[in-house]
Copies of this chain bind each other. A is one copy, B any other.
Amino acid sequence: MKKKPHFDCVALIGIGLINSSLARVIRRDSLAEKIIGCSRSDATLEKAKKLNLCHSYTTDVSFAVEGADLIVLGVPVGANKQLAKIMGPALKQGAIVTDVGSVKRCVIEDVKPHLPESVHLIPAHPVAGTEHSGPEAGFEGLFENRWCILTPEETADPDAVEAVKNLWLQAGMQVDSMDAYYHDQILAITSHLPHLIAYNIVGTAYDLEVVNESEVIKYAAGGFRDFTRIAASDPVMWRDVFLNNREAVLEMLGRFSEDLSVLQRAIRWGDGDTLEELFSKTRDIRKGIIQAKQV
């Protein structure tokens, strides 16, 4: 039951890939009377202005949020705590604070304590993205057919949850709701570990002295280029993801390394059966992804 949401004033804190794409959706579908764009960087505000993404622009967080009924935090997750401290006292009664971060437990821990009683915190994670950053990187279709995960606490206000849910449905997403802890486990394997591995292999290639960099680049079509795309993602955003989902990432990384040792041993000892068996079963998951239209 999709219902077009409507807000008087939406404050976008941070205007990167996700929030700038969201701004485009809000304008396209007239989901708010007013959009305020807030960034600590004047250059980012200038870019957003040129793109006509918002109705007004400011570097002042308190000023941005004071009249807003929806606040969307779209900054590296490590910045949320400081932001919450600043904006807490300025928030309107009954306002909804949501976010778009890739880790969810830390949002509750960092933001919740600084919000007034009457303000609703509804953490959200639109699982969509590209390797590009900044206001120019956004586009309306970014969210189409992807999943958004909400992680409201059990005590969260149902109307506030519904409002955030409707926003992402309107953006073209399917919406799920789950516990923040479980979200962080799933994303550790489907997103955080893949990024870590991609950054790592590109780093390994960068440091090689036996093969020079221009050759790595020239022959990247054999698989490497896909990793370089992922490893071109925003460095500060990803630094914060790893620092804020430490236990889950280390757990998945431990399993990955264990499994990799088995492959290493199979290669060393010429055990083709072990290799072929693994390489065959991984095709099943790909088929599932194609069937689920998440390609």
Where the two chains meet, the residues of A that have a C-beta atom closer than 8 Å to any C-beta of B are 78, 102, 127-129, 131, 146-147, 149, 176, 185-187, 189-208, 210-211, 213-233, 235-236, 238-240, 242-243, 246, 249-250, 252-253, 255-257, 259-260, 263-264, 266-268, 270, 272, 275-276, 278-289, 292, 294-295
B190 near A216 (CB under 8 angstroms)?
Answer: yes
Q: Known interface pairs A190-B216, A201-B256. Does A276 touch B236 (Cβ–Cβ under 8 Å)? A: yes
A238 near B275 (CB under 8 angstroms)?
Answer: yes
Taking the full assembly, how many copies of this chain does it contain? 2
A-B contact pairs, 20 of them (CB 8 A): A127-B221, A129-B222, A147-B219, A187-B222, A190-B215, A190-B220, A190-B223, A191-B223, A194-B201, A194-B223, A200-B263, A201-B256, A206-B281, A216-B285, A218-B294, A220-B294, A226-B229, A229-B286, A235-B283, A239-B279
A178 CA / B253 CA spacing, docked (Å): 37
- Say which residue of B128, B228, B264, B275 sits within 8 Å of A282 (CB atoms): B228
Q: Identify 6 new A-B residue pairs, CB closer than 8 A, beyond the known A129-B222, A187-B222, A257-B257.
A: A203-B282, A204-B255, A217-B292, A218-B294, A220-B294, A249-B267
